[in-house]
Structure formats: C-alpha cells, structure tokens
Amino acid sequence: MYVCLCKGVTDKQIRKAVDEGARSIRDLRQQFGVGSQCGKCTCCARDVLHEALHARADVVHVYVPSPQGTLEVDIAY
C-alpha cells in the first residue's frame, strides 16, 4: 500500500528500510522524503515504522514517563 503519495513510498519500502537500519521518522524522511511535502502521510508512516520495529527481535519498545505524558521509545541493541 502507498503510505506517501507525494513521494510514492510504500509500506514495503518502509519495512525494508527498517530491516536496513531505519529507526525513526527522521530516518525515513532522509531516505525517502516521507512527510516532507504535504505531511499527511506522517501518522501512517509512523504506524508502519512502529509495526516493523516491533516485529524485529533486536528492537525493544519502552514507555518512558515524562511531565508531558508518556513517551514511546524504540531502542535497538
């Protein structure tokens, strides 16, 4: 499925990028330009990124409490 229509980026490309080391929306923006045009794809791209990260055995998903609310952090080891 297409995640970013402006740049023509699919969920498969995002999953492959995670397999190759992408760990953040910033990484996806640098590699594909995701979210740099109209920005409507950012939420969907973040969801696909998190799903792909959670599927990996070498990435741990941690919830960190903060004064602004709970932060979600993915840590690769």
- Domain 2-76: homologous superfamily in CATH: BFD-like [2Fe-2S]-binding domain (1.10.10.1100)
Question: How remote is the C-alpha of 60 from its chain's centroid?
Answer: 14
If residue 14 lies in a helix (H) or strand (E), which one and from where to where? helix 11-19
- Beta-bridge mates of residue 76: 59
Pull the structure tokens for residue 62: 């941690």
* pLDDT attached to residue 59: 67
Average pLDDT on 43-63 reads: 83
Domain locations in the chain? 2-76
50 backbone φψ class: left, alpha, beta (φ>0; ψ -120 to 50): alpha
pLDDT > 80? residue 77: no
The span from the CA of 37 to the CA of 8, in Å, is: 11
Q: Which residue has the higher pLDDT, 40 or 60?
A: 40
